[in-house]
Amino acid sequence: MTHFDTAQFYADGRANELLHESLADVREGIVIATKAGAKPVPGAAIPLAAAQKPAELRAAVEDNLRTLGTDRIDVVNLRRMDFAPGLLAAGDQIVAFEDQLAEMAALRGEGKILAVGLSHITVEQLRTALPLGIACVQNIYNLVHREDEPLLNLCAANGVAWVPYFPLGGGYGTLPKVVDAQAVQDVAARLGVTPSQVGLAWQLAHSPNTLIISGTSSVGHLIENVAAGHVQLDREALATLDAASVPKG
């Protein structure tokens, strides 16, 4: 594994600190991607708040640099908050996309970040940002939540990496889970692998520009997720999964 997705607002910096401790001696060859657009609010019911202003994006990058213990971040994803699910920007946190892009470009020009990514965006926003040079897009997408297929296709056509978050569903406590789909369970049983591995393997097979960020909090699930990269889906499996519908219930 060489691609690590993190953010200062994950557990109020703890995720970054763990990465710093783990990767301090192996920084070369490692790609660290982080986010800007939110800030931690420890102790709150939702421990995050919008931080969309250009100055706040810069502050987020500086915080990430500090807790990661590095002088540059490979990719910083600008996290927009224009539509549900997730936090929505309100009041003075409703900021022009173009102003945010200008700040991200400035940070890249200063060498604090090496590439700009986008998260939770629309097709139109990606088209607006493409002239800037976009490395990747992170949106909710998985086997049973494919609304952003047009965005995935636009990324593929422009050499932009597709980094789906909630790749197995279940996010926000409301999204359907990939492992609950009967088609996924049937393919997993036939191939002798787990439903989670099938869900991740389908993403990798579906589009060649896909990078998986299947977050986990246990070593067992980490091992299971990594092994998904070796799962080979045959034509029958792909046809079954491509035709899968959202699980009931």
Catalytic residues: 10
Instruction: For Cα atoms 121, 151, 101, give the angle at the middle one, nearest 5 degrees.
Output: 40
d(CA 13, CA 119): 19
Closest-CA residue to 116 (of 124, 125, 106): 106
In the structure encoding, which two tokens stand for residue 192, read together?
A: 């002798």
Closest-CA residue to 244 (of 139, 164, 151, 144): 144
In the structure encoding, which two tokens stand for residue 13, read together?
A: 């910096």
Answer for the pair 120, 139: CB distance below 8 angstroms, yes or no. yes
Any idea which residue has 């301090």 for tokens?
Answer: 24
d(CA 219, CA 231): 19
Residue 149 neighbours by CB under 8 Å, 6+ apart: 141
Answer for the pair 188, 237: CB distance below 8 angstroms, yes or no. no
d(CA 191, CA 187): 6
Q: How many Å separate Cα 115 from the centre of its chain?
A: 15
Distances (CA, A) of 72 to 32, 107, 114: 9, 10, 7
